[in-house]
Amino acid sequence: MNRIIINKELVSQTMGKKIIIFDGEKSLLFTLNGTGAVIFNKLQKGLNTQEIKSYLQKKYGLTKVQAKRDVDNFISVLLKKKIIKISNTS
């Protein structure tokens, strides 16, 4: 099973419904909107993507397809920005 690990070198700060992530090494700021912040918070708590998809379905009334698309797309962006990485745990 794959585990998502948040990059410990980044600093995150909650501001209202948004989360600001700072990459000091690259001097970059990333701003997560409300939905992104919810997903990021769930990742910080150790939830896997399936648990997050189920949560979004219940919380926002999303279909399975919508929740899968939203979470998978967001995870893809976080990976590209190196905010998270995937660890293969066997």
Q: In this structure, are residues 83 and 6 in contact, taking their beta carbons and an 8 Å threshold?
A: yes
Q: What is the pLDDT of residues 7-51, one digit of tens each?
A: 999 999 999 999 999 999 889 999 999 999 999 999 999 999 999
Q: What's residue 88's pLDDT?
A: 80
pTM for the model stands at 0.89
Kindly state the tokens that stand for 10.
Answer: 């980044």
- Fill in the amino acid letter for 78: L
3-state secondary structure of 32: strand
Which residues lie closer than 8 Å to 11 by C-beta, 6 or more apart? 21, 22, 24
Kindly state the tokens that stand for 49.
Answer: 């993507």
Q: Enumerate the domain spans of the chain.
A: 2-83
Q: Which CATH class is domain 2-83?
A: mainly alpha
